[in-house]
Amino acid sequence: MTHLANQGVLLLNTTLTVRESAPNKHKKQWNYFTYNVIKKIVENCENVVFMLWGNESKEIKINLLKDKVDINRNYFLESCHPSPLSANKGNWFGNNHFKKCNNILDDNGKLRIKWLDVDINID
């Protein structure tokens, strides 16, 4: 993942830890943290592409709007979660988020992301 970080990609789950046999035990604490990280980025940056994968991620955008945060200077791509359970129900395969992200970056004069650390084109 270092090759993504070196290009300015921040990978961030809504919940970063889990207790065995207690799913979502840490959800409340992490949601506060991840929401505020994203809120600061949205408030202080422009032309950032956010990929919101899964319902919990999509709620971040909803909460930004509820908090009257101007989201219009950035881009939000939304899809179901890429886990096999969700992805196979639709909306993940064919969402083209990586291509759409690079198109947005192109349109804003920014460098495209090389998503894979190998020399193949995924567009």
Express each pLDDT in 26-44 by its tens digit: 888 888 999 999 999 999 9
Q: Tell me if 72 sits within 8 A of 48, measured CB to CB.
A: no
Express each pLDDT in 58-96 by its tens digit: 999 999 999 999 999 999 999 999 998 888 888 889 999
All residues at 6 or more sequence positions from 54 whose CB lies less than 8 Å from its CB, including other chains: 14, 80, 81, 86
User: What is the mean pLDDT of the segment spanning 101-122?
Assistant: 88
Burial of 19 (0-12, 13-18, 19+ CB in 10 A): exposed
CATH number of this structure's domain 2-107: 3.40.470.10
